[in-house]
Amino acid sequence: MNPYREFVSELARLVREGKGFPLGGFPPAPRPDLPPDAPHALIFSPHPDDECIIGGLALRLLREAGTRVTNVAVTQGSNKGRQAGRWEELTAACDHVGFGLIQTVPGGLEKVNLKTREQDPAHWQQSVGVIASILAQEKPEVVFFPHDSDWNSTHIGTHYLLVDALRRQPAAYRCYVVETEFWGAMATPNLMVESSVDDLADMMAALSFHVGEVTRNPYHLLVPAWMQDNVRRGGELVGGQGGAAPDFSFATLYRLREWHDGGFLDMYAGGRNLPAGVDADQVFISEGR
């Protein structure tokens, strides 16, 4: 017998069974009790649900490093009839996993894309001002946002929205920048972060609170497969071409840099893997320090 047929058959069976699992309604996942002055990380998510998909490192920072994590809902989707519902789902998802939540403006920002940046500078600068004000008020040590080639127009727009907002901060402003990927793969990630079974299960449960979205397309069930493919890619892109892949089952790829003196500063040469069981804040220890 071909053992791989049983392997594939079991994967297909689990996905079929998963379509019958509950959507949302789960009790809150465990989270630490953090002091008000705990380090702060902001996730700038282009759409409600991105916070759960790319949040592997953020969840580990919350649980392992005592970092307060807040999701900033850059938009609430383009369908105005769904924006209120998506906000309710997003609130429940963040509550489940332990993330705080900030609304940019009622209904979320609109037209967050490069076309607006190039052709409607007044509207764009108004949106930049909203994000710049959030950065100035929250003073995060870490910010998450998509990389500049993440395919989806709103994801790419969110990248440039954050870069422009960071440039509005005082010259001495500095923070760690974690660029994320989902729709388009990064050519140069430098960090692969493993997620434990417990962490991934909690992120999937949180993602299931986005009921309106996963009902039409149960993509929450495919996140483990996406993370497995990240391990395949990361073994070469982060670990080095031809190197031995780490023994990870699930991982997320990022590009970690510092924002310093009005621009990006590399943290370290090459790439770094963060296994489960190693404190997440170790990724911020750069080479030579």
Count Cα atoms within 13 angstroms, Cβ side, for 67.
24
Instruction: Round the CA-based radius of gyration of the chain to a whole number and report it.
Output: 19
- Architecture of the CATH domain 37-278: 3-Layer(aba) Sandwich (3.40)
Q: What is the pLDDT along the chain (289 residues), one digit of tens a residue?
A: 899 999 999 999 999 999 999 999 999 999 999 998 999 999 999 999 999 999 999 999 999 999 999 999 999 999 999 999 999 999 999 999 999 999 999 999 999 999 999 999 999 999 999 999 999 999 999 999 999 999 999 999 999 999 999 999 999 999 999 999 999 999 999 999 999 999 999 999 999 999 999 999 999 999 999 999 999 999 999 988 887 889 999 999 999 999 999 999 999 888 999 999 999 999 998 765 4
> How far apart are the C-alpha atoms of 32 and 9, rounded to whole Å?
39
Is the model's pTM score more than 0.95?
yes
Q: Which of 151, 152, 147, 150 is nearest to 163 (CA)?
A: 147
- One-letter amino acid of 19: K
In terms of Cβ atoms closer than 10 Å to its own Cβ (0-12, 13-18, 19+), residue 176 is buried
Q: Which of 124, 104, 121, 120 is nearest to 112 (CA)?
A: 124
Relative orientation angle of helices 56-65 and 197-208, to the nearest 10 degrees: 120
Cross-strand pairs, 251:
194
Neighbours of 2 (CB within 10 A): 7
